[in-house]
Amino acid sequence: MTAGREVWREALGVVLATSAYGISFGALAVAAGLDVWQACVLSLLMFTGGSQFAFVGVFAAGGVAALPSAIASAVLLGVRNIAYGMRMSPIIGGGTLRRAAAAHFTIDESTAVAIAQGDPRLRRLGFWITGVGIFVGWNATTLIGALVGDVLGDPKVWGLDAAAAAAFLALLWPRLKRRQAIVVGAAAAVVAASLTPVLMPGLPVLVAAGVAVLVGWFNWFSGRSAAESEVRA
């Protein structure tokens, strides 16, 4: 019973902290040119923060013409959820309806809370509390943020036209700890900045993502980090 309460406490803490970011997304989505209902539908159907911010960032830069690139950028970031699904599959268990429902709630936070538990029952509990809780909280705060952003009016007056890029950078920054991640980030930034004047909005991001995938596939610039890890182990 005590262990169950601890899982509830841990999961709800993550739910509250993560849901708060939905306000930022709602406001940024409206600032990018989406209607309130469009921002809400995006959170309902896409429901993965990084992909949503990527979509809004590209859409803000290029409008409707950049929609295919915005969708491609969002999908590219959402691919990681496939790996999460493979990890969570044995924890969730069988049943078509259960797996279908779990797929929508399989995000960074629900996976992290689940695998942090030692008991299979507690892992399932942590997954569902976190996933469903964030889904409800994120969509509620998206609506609040979208309504607030809609009231503010012209995003350029408040500087919100650049906020989507700033928000996405804030999500990326904590991951830049290893040398390979720093090199990939710097190379992708140079490529995207160089191609921005000549390509349609959104395409430079996809090309930069290709550079990142290439570096990761061949595991370049990670030799020292791997060697250091082996020595420390």
Contact in structure between 168 and 57 (CB atoms under 8 Å) = yes
**Claim to verify: residue 189 and residue 150 sit in the same structural domain:** no
Number of other residues whose CB lies within 10 A of the CB of residue 229: 11
Give φ, ψ of 177 to 5 degrees.
-110, -35
**Claim to verify: residue 31 and residue 116 sit in the same structural domain:** yes
**Claim to verify: residue 142 and residue 226 sit in the same structural domain:** no
Residue 142 within a domain? yes
**Joined tokens for residue 198:** 């000549």
**Claim to verify: residue 63 and residue 38 sit in the same structural domain:** yes
From CA 148, how far away is CA 23, in angstroms rounded?
A: 9
**Claim to verify: residue 185 and residue 100 sit in the same structural domain:** no
From CA 101, how far away is CA 103, in angstroms rounded?
A: 5
What is the pLDDT at residue 229?
42
Which of 105, 128, 160 is where one domain is finished? 160
What is the pLDDT at residue 51?
84
User: C-alpha distances in angstroms, 28 versus 15, 58, 165?
Assistant: 21, 12, 10
**Claim to verify: residue 151 and residue 183 sit in the same structural domain:** no
**Claim to verify: residue 31 and residue 138 sit in the same structural domain:** yes
What is the pLDDT at residue 219?
64
What is the pLDDT at residue 130?
94
Residue 129 within a domain? yes
From CA 7, how far away is CA 110, in angstroms rounded?
A: 12
What is the pLDDT at residue 114?
92
**Claim to verify: residue 74 and residue 111 sit in the same structural domain:** yes
Residue with tokens 């309460």: 5
Q: At what angle do helices 36-45 and 49-62 cross, to 10 degrees?
A: 140
Q: Which residues of 87-106 are buried (b: 16+ CB within 10 A; e: fewer)?
A: ebeebbeeeeeeeeebebbb
Residue 111 within a domain? yes
Q: What is the pLDDT along the chain (233 residues), one digit of tens a residue?
A: 577 888 999 899 889 988 888 888 898 888 888 899 999 999 999 998 878 888 887 787 777 777 787 788 788 777 778 888 888 988 888 788 888 899 999 998 899 899 888 888 999 999 999 999 999 999 999 999 999 877 765 555 555 545 545 555 555 555 566 666 677 767 777 777 777 677 666 666 667 667 766 766 666 666 544 444 433 44
**pTM assigned to the model:** 0.70
What is the pLDDT at residue 128?
95
Residue 188 within a domain? yes
What is the pLDDT at residue 157?
55
From CA 87, how far away is CA 191, in angstroms rounded?
A: 33
User: C-alpha distances in angstroms, 216 versus 53, 176, 183?
Assistant: 23, 14, 11
**Claim to verify: residue 147 and residue 183 sit in the same structural domain:** no
**Claim to verify: residue 49 and residue 135 sit in the same structural domain:** yes
**Claim to verify: residue 148 and residue 229 sit in the same structural domain:** no
Which of 160, 184, 199 is where one domain is finished? 160
What is the pLDDT at residue 96?
85
Which of 103, 129, 160 is where one domain is finished? 160
Domain that holds residue 190: 176-233
Q: How many domains does the chain have?
A: 2
What is the pLDDT at residue 230?
38
Residue 171 within a domain? no
User: C-alpha distances in angstroms, 60 versus 22, 28, 70, 155, 225?
Assistant: 17, 9, 9, 11, 37
**Claim to verify: residue 111 and residue 14 sit in the same structural domain:** yes
Residue 167 within a domain? no
* Residue 178 DSSP symbol: S
